[in-house]
């Protein structure tokens, strides 16, 4: 039972990197939170600090199976989100995106509850348009090693908009660009966590290709603020909506910054570029600014300092 006057919010993938931070913010905002995770990439450690809170509930569940609960709103974040993790079991990755979307949309339809889908900048593939506006349809391989994630998320977006058109469901589709911060999985293969772990170990920082490919990095607190503002918009505001930092950095710039901030003796080592790795990725966030009054506030160096401190405490104390 939810407490009187409090909304009960479901967060799938709630024990993951983004999900756990979202749970923190929802609890702080006065919500009852039902956190659902199957712990394939999430961890109970990410939400241990919430277990004693009477307004927080943790449930082990896989979203590829139906979920029978009563809630007032849903954030669907369940899916491995790094290439290392989603390529381990590509069939299950696609099932999580597609079957998971179907199950959560069915739940939202039954409850007449608003639902936010954590989509991804990967729907743009290796973009031929830069920066990427929401109107861009993308340049995605349907048969490459990243397709299980890219195409799974694209199909999930299709399902969300079909449920919206066919059933009048209140949906929000957020396209998340590179996000970093405390509680990132240390072995997720993402460039920020890779560089920090390598630097703290004194190992060479692995830069693929020339290192001139670019990414934009959004600190987790900024992204979660975008989620909450998006969910609070009128039902007519459905997205898809880019949420990310439009300030670009090359991989070499990021590597050099991490080495400097950690004080590491590490050097930079170049390796061949992986198949289908995008050359550039940067969001056009004009719509988020206009509709949400949102833009990232945390500069890269400040966010990296907090993330490095967290990694030191967790893995090198």
The active-site residue, picked from 86, 124, 149, 163, is 149
Map residue 111 onto helix, strand or coil: helix
Query: How many other CB atoms are there within 10 angstroms of residue 278's CB atom?
Result: 16
- For 313, counting Cβ atoms within 10 Å of its Cβ (0-12 exposed, 13-18 middle, 19+ buried), the class is exposed
Task: Tell me which DSSP letter residue 202 carries.
Answer: T
- Cα-atom radius of gyration of the chain, to the nearest Å? 19
- 180 among known catalytic residues: no
Token pair, residue 142, equals: 């349907």
Distance (Å, whole) CA 145 – CA 48: 34
CA 152 from centroid of its chain's CA atoms: 15
Distance (Å, whole) CA 10 – CA 110: 14
Distance (Å, whole) CA 161 – CA 73: 17
Cis link prior to 131 (omega < 30° from 0)? yes
Token pair, residue 60, equals: 């082990």
Catalytic residues: 149
């Amino acid at each position: 039972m939810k407490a009187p006057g409090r909304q009960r919010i479901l967060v799938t993938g709630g024990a993951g990197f983004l999900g756990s931070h979202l749970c923190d913010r929802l609890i702080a905002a006065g919500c009852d939170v039902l956190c659902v995770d199957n712990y394939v990439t999430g961890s109970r450690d990410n939400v241990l600090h919430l277990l004693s809170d009477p307004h927080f509930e943790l449930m082990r569940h896989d979203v590829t199976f139906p979920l029978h609960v009563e809630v007032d709103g849903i954030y669907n974040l369940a899916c491995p989100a790094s290439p290392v993790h989603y390529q381990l079991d590509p069939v299950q990755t696609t099932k999580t995106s597609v079957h998971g979307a179907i199950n959560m949309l069915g739940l939202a339809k039954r409850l007449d509850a608003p639902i936010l889908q954590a989509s991804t900048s990967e729907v743009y593939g290796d973009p031929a348009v830069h920066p990427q506006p929401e109107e861009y349809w993308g340049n995605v391989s349907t048969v490459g090693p990243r397709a299980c994630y890219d195409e799974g998320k694209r199909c999930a977006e299709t399902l969300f908009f079909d449920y919206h058109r066919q059933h009048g469901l209140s949906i929000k589709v957020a396209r998340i660009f590179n996000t970093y911060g405390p509680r990132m999985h240390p072995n997720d293969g993402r460039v920020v966590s890779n560089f920090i772990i390598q630097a703290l170990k004194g190992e060479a920082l692995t830069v693929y290709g020339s290192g001139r490919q670019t990414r934009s990095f959004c600190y987790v607190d900024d992204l979660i603020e975008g989620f909450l503002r998006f969910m609070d918009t009128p039902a007519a505001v459905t997205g898809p909506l880019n949420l990310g930092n439009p300030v670009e950095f090359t991989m070499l710039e990021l590597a050099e910054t991490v080495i400097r901030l950690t004080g590491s003796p590490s050097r930079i080592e170049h390796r061949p570029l992986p198949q289908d790795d995008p050359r550039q990725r940067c969001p056009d966030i004009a719509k988020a600014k206009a509709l949400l009054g949102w833009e990232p506030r945390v500069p890269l160096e400040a966010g990296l300092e907090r993330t490095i401190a967290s990694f030191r405490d967790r893995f090198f104390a």
